[in-house]
């Protein structure tokens, strides 16, 4: 931390650095040090295609993928049904997107309404988030949650396996995303270029094998 502090030239505020990108980096560094809210959650209608192609890829070793992208469909059933959708992303330094969903998108479940929630998430929740999901589902019997995941996160860890089992026994449905699910996310949650025909989803070459790999692992855990 100390070394990082000294790196920043004191005159960064006066005059733009030549390289705009470098300026962005500095701004980010400054932001990190000044008081950020407890978590920085980026929400939006649709996520950039480049994020989708990298983060959602159902690879076996997810190096460098240290963000969670959570696309949600929230259907609220009362006198009338209302469906809303969007996505959340997080920086892993802070609270995770799963927590943010309960803190910001659905802070409280009205007991008179029923909620059907589907998440399409780049990887399955960590232990803390899985526990929070379990508690939330136990408290709110009117909430149905299905989580579609691209990858399983740290699934070899016994603690993680236990947390996922508890989450499922609390009524959460956990599914591995099939190629069709990735296509659904692509069509519904990913930005398409302005004025162009929507680009067709192009599956990566090992999408089907990786889906089967994770599906087997999930079956073993459960």
Give catalytic residues, as residue numbers: 98
Q: Match 């860890």 to its residue by tokens.
A: 157
Half-sphere exposure for 56 (CA within 13 Å, toward CB): 34
The answer to whether 172 touches 137, Cβ cutoff 8 Å, is yes
**Rounded to a whole number, what is the distance in angstroms from the first to the last CA of the chain?**
42
CA distance 74 to 219: 27
CA distance 159 to 166: 11
CA distance 178 to 148: 9
The answer to whether 28 touches 20, Cβ cutoff 8 Å, is no
Residue count (the chain): 222
Three-state DSSP at 172 gives coil
């Amino acid at each position: 931390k100390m070394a990082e502090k000294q790196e920043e030239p004191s005159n960064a505020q006066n005059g733009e650095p030549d390289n705009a990108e470098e300026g962005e980096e500095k701004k980010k560094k400054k932001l990190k040090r000044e008081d950020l809210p407890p978590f920085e959650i980026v929400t939006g209608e649709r996520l950039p295609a480049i994020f989708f192609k990298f983060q959602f890829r159902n690879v076996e070793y997810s190096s460098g993928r240290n963000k969670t992208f959570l696309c949600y469909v929230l259907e609220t059933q009362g006198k009338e049904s209302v469906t809303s959708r969007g996505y959340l992303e997080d920086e892993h330094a802070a609270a995770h997107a799963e927590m943010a969903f309960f803190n910001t998108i659905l802070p409280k479940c009205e007991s008179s309404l029923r909620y059907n929630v589907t998440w399409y998430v780049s990887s399955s929740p960590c232990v803390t988030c899985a526990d929070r999901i379990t508690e939330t589902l136990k408290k709110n019997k009117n909430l149905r949650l299905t989580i579609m995941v691209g990858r399983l996160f740290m699934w070899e860890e016994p603690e993680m396996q236990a947390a996922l089992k508890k989450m499922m026994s609390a009524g959460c449905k956990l599914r591995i995303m099939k190629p069709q699910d990735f296509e659904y996310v692509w069509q519904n949650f990913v930005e398409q270029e302005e004025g162009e025909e929507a680009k067709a989803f192009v599956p990566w070459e090992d999408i089907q094998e990786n889906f089967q790999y994770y599906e087997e692992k999930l079956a073993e855990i459960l």
